Each structure stands twice: as C-alpha cells, then as structure tokens.
A and B are shown apart, each in its own frame.
Chain A
C-alpha cells in the first residue's frame, strides 16, 4: 500500500499564536508551513506527521493514529525531538534557527525562522550546467561555516543535499533539515527507513554505521558539489561500493571548472572515508584556494568577521 498523502492544515488556521498561511513542503515525515506570528513576522512551522503512521483526511485537524501505529508514531516523535534539541543549541548565521517548540493537535510542532529565497536544488535546476565556479565556492565555503558549527557540537547532519541548502535572497546559504538525518541514525526501524536521498548519502550510511563521522557529511557535501557541476546527483554510494560507475570529474569536466575544484570534489567523493578530507576545515581551505598557492579572497574572511560581530552584538 503506498502511503497516503496527508492533507495540510487549512489556510488561516490558528495554531497557538501562529496563523497558517500555506504549505511550503510535504515530506514523508513532516509538513512545513509558512505562518505568521502575532507580530505578523513570517515563520516556518514544521509539523511532525509521518504519512506511513498518521493520517489526516481533508477537513480534519488532529491526525488519526491507529493503536497499532502508536508506539512507532511516538518513537518517531523522539527523533523529531532530537532534531529540536540539536538545533536549539546551534546559533549560527548559516544554520536555521529554531524559535519555538510545542505540542498541539495530537502531534508536535517546531517553529523556525523563515528565510526568503530558494533552495540550492531549485537553483541548480534553473541553471543546469551553468552554475559558476565562483558561486559554488562562495556558497559552499559559507555553508561549511554552518556545518563546522554543527560538528563542533558533536552532531552530524547526515542529510546534506542541495534541497537542504537554502539560499537567502542575499545569496548567503542556510543549512536546513536536521530531522531526516537524525532518525536514520536509529537503525532497524523499517517503518522510518531511508529518509536520506540516494546519491547524497555516504557509503557509511548504507552499511557500516559505526564509522559515521564528519567525513560522512563531507561525502554529502562532495555529492552536492557534484550536483552543481553535473546537474544531477552522483550514483548511489551503496551501488558504487559494488561497482563504481563514477568517473572522476577532473576527467569529464575539465575546462569549464578549475582543476583544483574538480579534484576537491573527487576527493570528497572517495568511497574510503579515510581518503576524504577529514574535517570541514580542511575542505574549506581547499575551497577557498583557487590555484595551489594562491591566497583566498579576503572578503570571505571579513564577511565571517562582520557576521560574527553582528552575532555578538545581538547577544
């Protein structure tokens, strides 16, 4: 039986202090809404609603969960809390901010800062094959600042992909969606199985979960970089492990992109975790350097500095 699609809360629905405007996205695990708070500030609200376990028909508010699905539903809720816990501790301009967390309608909700812009996925779709190197380097270097913050809290994202990298209107990236990732960490639960997108998940995520680490997120960053250059995701890592059909970008795409960038992407996509950059910082260094020996543009550093200042200023 294919999982049914859940109907979203209706426009104008008053959810605690928030007014639902419309559905932004629908995933297997949750629905994300655009809503306005009492000051009319837009927020993104994520509703925990796994469609294989909870059904909300048209016109209903509270989802229906059968007694038999209840333990699984609650278990998934735990994963949703995990995401809330991870995000609540992170305060970084390149990581989505959580503003509130509450329980209503028999399920739970996470309120996040709403950002204007579009996902990197949408950007790649629109500029297929024409994503400029300068853009790639700028977006990823900054996005990796956020990922560094994530790793420094001893967390892994585990679901990095272009559709989870949001580009604000000013071009700065924000890392989204820590939920799908977390739950894949809890293995053996068939009903909540792969939420990660094939092609972007590291080989460790398919098999040897003991060896998950920052290098696993780095594989996904590599796959996202690959998608910027090629326009599609690389072959699935589990299939690559059996029969590797990935040809190195430095052979197929040289000319349009600098050799150093293509080599960096190939480096991230190594099947052996130890053969990849071992930390986000080492990858950042590679992305900030155009030719071996050439200094990185000063603006990116000053940019981090001013952001840091404004961040501290707000505190």
Chain B
C-alpha cells in the first residue's frame, strides 16, 4: 500500500477537546477513525476515547496483515465499542452512558469500506469531485432528504447539531455501512467532525481536499477555524491520498511494502498533556531491535 496521510485535531475555542482521531496500518490494511464526544452529555471525551481506542486495538489484533472481512469487522467493532462505552458507564456508576459519534474507514486491497453513526463525515474526492460521502444521522439531513428545507437552510437550522444515532447513550446505534469502494490513484478520503465541515460546508471540504494532503489539510483546518470564529467547535480531520503502488515514492508518502507482517504503525491523538512520556517508559528488547532495524532501513533507503 502506498498513501499519504495527514491527521490533526484542534480544540477550536472550546475549553477541552472531545474529538479523538487515530489511524493505524499494517502492511496490507489501513484504518482511519474519528470520534466526536458529545458535549451536553457527561464525559463525551471518554466515550470518544473508548471508541477510538477499542477500534484501534481490535484492528491491531485482526489485521494480520489483512482483515478477513472489512464489513463484518466494522459492524462488530462499532457495536462492541458501543457496548464498551455502556460497560464503562456501568462500572463507574454514571447516571447515563457518555456518547460519541463515529466514522471509521478500512482500506485494503485497494478498496475502501466505511461505517458511521452520527454526524462525523467521510468524503471521497476524486479530481475535485465528491464520489462518495456519508449521510448524517441528523434530523436536518432527514428534512433535507424530504425536501422540507434546502442546503442553505440546513446550514443555519437551529437543530442542526441534533443527531439520532451515536455510540453510547441509551439507544442502540444505527450504523450505516458503505459498499466496497474501489480506490484510484489520487483519490482523497477525508474524515472529519462537524467542527470542520460545519464552517466550510461540503463545498469547502471538496474544494480544499487536494491530493497534496500535507499542504491542503492544514489549510482546510485553518479555514474552518477562521470561519468558526469565536465559538469555533473542536475540529478534526484525517485526509489520506491513495497512490498506486507503481507511482514513484513521494516525499511524505508511506509505503507499507517494507513493514513486517506483524508490525503496526499507529497514531492516536489524545490530549491529556504531561503523561505519555512516563507511560512508555519501558522499552523492551523487541522494541530496541525494531528501532535499530528501522533506522538501518532508513539509512540504506536514503543513501541509495
């Protein structure tokens, strides 16, 4: 697999960041996931954290190095993540289970599969046109589908943040699944939370999700943050540009060809500062060997 990926979450003008995002890849499969913990309910960030962490861990145990069936994987993992949140609420005696939206995407064998609950979105942009996108589980989206309001009214609708499906909470989630989607060279998959798509709209995401994701993604975040203004919500974005294996190596692209079969690269952003360092204190012999192998691989790669 060859792709370029960018991931960032920003706090906006809020006091805390309840968005969580992560990507993780084995040699032959890539997972991207974004969760937007719901404010107004207790511990939104906890729900988001549990969901993302659970999905990443499950991916790591099942992508060996491919996922047997991505659709079943998404269905089982998202439902179990929902149960994990309920379990947590039960363990901690919380009056209600925390809630989070979710959108997760698996790429393997050049095909993408995704699933979502709530209003965090996925877009696939091909040469500046959107070729696939998720439909929010929101009343506004339903009204839009029924022709009761138009896009402009939807963007200003006072109930536009209300969603009827999420992980956690008191109801079982309604999860939508995509079909298998064959990726082409240069396709960009963008996952984002409402803090991002809200201010810039579909058009903004599509216009700015260029194939040079390392440059376009931060610009898109900047723009959403500026348009978000004084009440800017947390905003998160993962954009991934897919490259054909035959394409020459690009500066920031990731090629998983040299990744060991049981190896994973994971990036999970959490926002509790000052921990982290001590948590990873211990370095096992295995990790040392792997670090050395990685450095030597880089040396030989870059000296040729």
Contact = CB atoms under 8 A, between A and B. Distances in A.
Interface string B285-303: 0001101101110110011
Contacts of A74: 281-283, 288
24 contacts: A71-B281, A71-B282, A74-B281, A74-B283, A74-B288, A81-B295, A84-B295, A85-B298, A88-B298, A90-B302, A91-B302, A91-B303, A98-B295, A98-B299, A101-B295, A102-B292, A103-B288, A103-B292, A108-B292, A187-B277, A188-B274, A188-B278, A189-B277, A315-B304
B288 A88 contact: no
B289 A103 contact: yes
Nearest to A97: B303
B274 A101 contact: no
B122 to A, nearest CB: 27
Nearest to B297: A88
Contacts of A85: 291, 294-295, 298
Contacts of A100: 296, 299
A90 B299 CA distance: 9
A91 B291 CA distance: 20
Interface of B: 274, 277-278, 280-283, 288-289, 291-292, 294-296, 298-299, 302-304
A99 B299 contact: yes
A111 to B, nearest CB: 9
A75 interface: yes
Contacts of A97: 303
A280 to B, nearest CB: 18
Nearest to A90: B302
Contacts of A246: none
A90 B38 CA distance: 43
SS class of chain A's interface: helix, strand, loop or mixed? Answer: mixed
Interface residues of A, number: 25
A315 B301 CA distance: 11
Nearest to A314: B303
A29 to B, nearest CB: 16
Interface string A63-89: 000000001001101100100110011
A275 interface: no
Contacts of A187: 277
Contacts of B303: 91, 97, 99
B281 A101 contact: no
Contacts of A315: 304
B277 A188 contact: yes
B115 to A, nearest CB: 32
The 6 closest A-B pairs by CB, nearest first: A88-B298, A74-B283, A84-B295, A81-B291, A101-B295, A88-B299
Contacts of A98: 295, 299
Nearest to B282: A71
A77 B283 CA distance: 8
Contact of A101 (B278, B296, B302): B296
A77 B292 CA distance: 11
A186 interface: yes
B49 to A, nearest CB: 22
A71 B283 CA distance: 8
Given A75-B283, A89-B302, A103-B289, 10 more contacts: A74-B281, A75-B281, A81-B292, A88-B295, A88-B296, A88-B302, A89-B298, A91-B303, A98-B295, A101-B295
A205 to B, nearest CB: 17
B298 to A, nearest CB: 4
Contacts of B292: 81, 101-103, 108
B94 to A, nearest CB: 32
Nearest to A75: B281
Contacts of B299: 88, 98-101
B266 to A, nearest CB: 16
Interface string A88-131: 11110000011111110000100000000000000000000000
A25 B294 CA distance: 27
Contacts of A77: 283, 288
Given A103-B292, A315-B304, A186 B298 contact: no
Contacts of A75: 281-283
Nearest to A80: B291
B285 to A, nearest CB: 9
B21 to A, nearest CB: 19
Contacts of B281: 71, 74-75
Nearest to B299: A88
Nearest to A74: B283
A103 B299 CA distance: 16
A97 B295 CA distance: 13
Contacts of B294: 85
A159 to B, nearest CB: 19
Contacts of B289: 103
> Max chain A CB contacts within 10 Å: which of B282, B294, B296, B299?
B299
B17 to A, nearest CB: 15
A89 B302 CA distance: 6
Contact of A186 (B277, B296, B304): B277
Interface string A175-214: 0000000000011110000000000000000000000000
A189 B280 CA distance: 13
A123 B281 CA distance: 40
Contacts of B302: 88-91
A75 to B, nearest CB: 5
B211 to A, nearest CB: 20
